[in-house]
Amino acid sequence: MAKLEVTVSGIRFRNPVLTAAGPNVLNAHMMLQAVEGGVGGVVSKTVSVKPAHDRRPTIRRAVCRSMMNAETWAEEPVEKFLEYYHEVKKTGVPLIVSIGYTPDDLKTLGPLIEREARPDGFEFSTHYLGKDVEPLVESAKALRYSVEAPIWMKVSPNFPDIQEVARRVAPYVDGFVATNSFGPVLDFDPENPEPRLGSAYGQGWLSGPAILPISLRVVYEVVSVQDKPVIGVGGIERGTDAIKYFMVGASAVAVCTAALKHGPQVYGKIAREINDWLDRHGYTSVEEVRNLYRERLRERRVYEGIPVIRVDDDLCTGCTACVRNCVERALYMKGDKARVVDDLCIGCGYCMDFCPEDALSLQERQP
C-alpha cells in the first residue's frame, strides 16, 4: 500500500485529493460530506466582503463531459461561513479557506477569519483581478502581511504570462493552485438559441475534462519557474488524471466538477485509484512520481528531419486501426500487414496512438 499522505506548505493531508472551491463545498453540509467521501483536505467556497448574487441559471452541461458556469463567489456572508468552518475544523481534516479579491478585501477577511476560525491555510482567488501582474502581486502581499497561516494563490488559466506571475508572486505565497475554470466561453443549442446561463450574454467558465490539458500545462509552467508547491486542479475525475498532475510537478490535486457530477464519494475514489496505480507500478509514495514527465522530457528523442512511420511486422496484427486513423492517408493494407507510402507520411505520429500492439514507431528517413 503506497503512502498517500502528503505535506504541502507545512500542512499534512491524509491523501493528496482536496476539494476545489465551488458549490461542492457551499456550506457545512457539503464540506462534511466531502470529508465523509474521503477527501484529504477541504478548500471552501470563495467568500468575499459582500455576498454575491448570481443570476440564474448558473451551471450547465458543456462539451466533453464538462461544465459551463456563471457562478462568482459565495452568496452568503462571511459570518455564516465562520459557522461552517467550525464544523469542518471539528473533523480534524485540514481546512483551507478561500477568499477574494482585492488587497482591501483580503486585509479585511484574512485577519477576521484567522482570529475566529483558525484555518490551516488560505487560498486567495484572482479570478476577477484582470490580467495585469501588478494587482496580483498587491493582493498576495496584502494577505501575506495580514495573516500568519500559509497562503496559496489560485491562478486563472488565461493569464497571458503565467510564468511572470508565478515568479513575481512566489516570494509572498506558500503555494499556488492551478487552475481556476477557463474562459469566458460561450455555447448554446442551435435548435433553441437562447442563452443557457444568466450572465450578461450567456457566457460562462469552462471546467471539467475539457480543461485538463490547459491546467496541466499551467502547472508545468508554474512549477518550472519557482520552488513553492503547486496544487493541480482542472478536469480530474480519476486516479490517472491526478497522476499526470504529479508527473508535471504538482504536490496535491483538487476536484470540483467531478464532485458536482458524481457526488462527494468521488474524492475517496480518486484517492484509492491513485493508491492502486502507485502500487501497480511499484511506487511507494506520491513523491516518487513527482516530476517524472520532466525526466522523460530531458531524455526524449529529437528528430533532425521529418521522420517516417515504420511498421513492425512481427507485432502488426492487421487490425487496420492505423490505416483508418492516418491523417494523410499514407497507410494502407497489403495482405494482413500495414504499409506506408513514405512520400505521403508527414511523421506526425497520430497513427501510433491507435495501434493496440505498439507496432508503429517513428524513424529518421534514410537518404
Ligand X SMILES: Cc1cc2nc3c(=O)[nH]c(=O)nc-3n(C[C@H](O)[C@H](O)[C@H](O)COP(=O)(O)O)c2cc1C
- Residue numbers of the site for ligand X (CB under 6 A)? 20-23, 45-46, 59, 67, 69, 71, 73, 98, 125, 154, 180-181, 207-208, 211, 233-236, 255-258
Q: Residues 6 or more apart from 44 whose CB is under 8 A from it?
A: 19, 21, 25, 31, 81, 84, 85, 88, 95, 96, 97, 98
What are the grid coordinates assigned to 216, written together? 496541466
We find the least distance from the C-beta atom of residue 241 to ligand X, in angstroms, to be 9
Locus of grid cell 465551488 = 22
Query: Which H or E element spans position 243?
Result: helix 239-247
Shortest Å distance, C-beta 98 to ligand X: 6
333: amino acid identity, one letter: M
Distance CA 17, CA 39 (A): 6
User: Looking at beta carbons only, is 13 or 73 nearer to ligand X?
Assistant: 73
For residues 136 and 355, which CB has a smaller minimum distance to ligand X in the complex?
136
* Cβ 197 vs Cβ 70: under 8 Å: yes
**Burial of 287 from C-beta contacts in 10 A (0-12 / 13-18 / 19+):** middle
Cell 526524449 belongs to residue: 300
Query: Is 17 strand, coil or helix?
Result: strand
d(CA 33, CA 84): 12
Nearer to ligand X, 234 or 307 (CB): 234
H-state helical runs in 152-194: 162-169
Pick 177 or 286: Cβ nearer ligand X? 177
Nearer residue to ligand X within complex by CB, 9 or 126: 126
Task: Pick between residue 32 and residue 255 the one whose CB is nearest to ligand X.
Answer: 255
Q: How far is the CB of 161 from ligand X (least distance, A)?
A: 20
What is the closest distance, in whole angstroms, from the C-beta atom of residue 138 to ligand X in the complex?
18
CB of 41 to ligand X, least distance (A): 14
CB of 255 to ligand X, least distance (A): 5
